Amino acid sequence: MNKPKIVRPEVSQPAHALWFDRKKYVTINFAVQKPTDVQVDIQPDKMILCCKNDTDDVFYNELHFYDKVQIYDSRERVHERTINVLLRKIKPDVAWPRLQKDPAKPSWISVDFDNWRDWEHEENEGKAEYDQYVDMIQEMTSDNKGAIPDMGDLSDSD
């Protein structure tokens, strides 16, 4: 399953990319209007994207990942206005502080804060809320409810 090597075009620009991190995956969404001739090469330590938009502008992105990814469980999907890339991490449950290995952030990469979650501390925070909920339910169902109310004033007679 050898893919042809993607060669950087002489005239190109990078597509704007929004990314976010999850426990097992990293998602990157490249903003390209009506992408055509889409080529994506996902390698364990980097990916290359090359495509054109509806006005024949050429886009080329090369990313060297912060950490390694599983290439056979990573996918890309082309949509009307975006190219979505889902990368499976080799090391799940390890947060990526940045998308690329290089700490310098290119201007075309942004964090997708709408989809970002601080999942590293989710389990602990959720456990505290769960414990509080369980305590409340146990308190409501315990035997110290008091006396049964007198409902003698309720009758069916008119």
Task: Give residue-wise pLDDT tens across range 13-72.
Answer: 999 999 999 889 999 999 999 999 999 999 999 999 999 999 999 999 999 999 999 999
Residue 78 predicted with pLDDT over 80:
yes
Half-sphere exposure of 104 (CA within 13 A, CB side): 1
Q: Which two tokens stand for residue 20?
A: 């976010």
Residue 151 phi/psi, 5-degree rounding, is: -115, 30
* Domains of the chain as residue ranges with CATH: 17-111 (2.60.40.790)
Q: Whose structure tokens read 């369980």?
A: 134
Q: Which two tokens stand for residue 79?
A: 């949509």
Task: Answer yes or no: pTM beyond 0.85.
Answer: no
Task: Give residue-wise pLDDT tens across range 132-150.
Answer: 766 777 666 666 666 677 7
- Which spans in the chain are helix H? 122-141
Q: Which of 85, 98, 130, 136 is nearest to 21 (CA)?
A: 98
Task: Give residue-wise pLDDT tens across range 118-127.
Answer: 666 655 556 6
Q: So what's the pLDDT on residue 121? A: 62
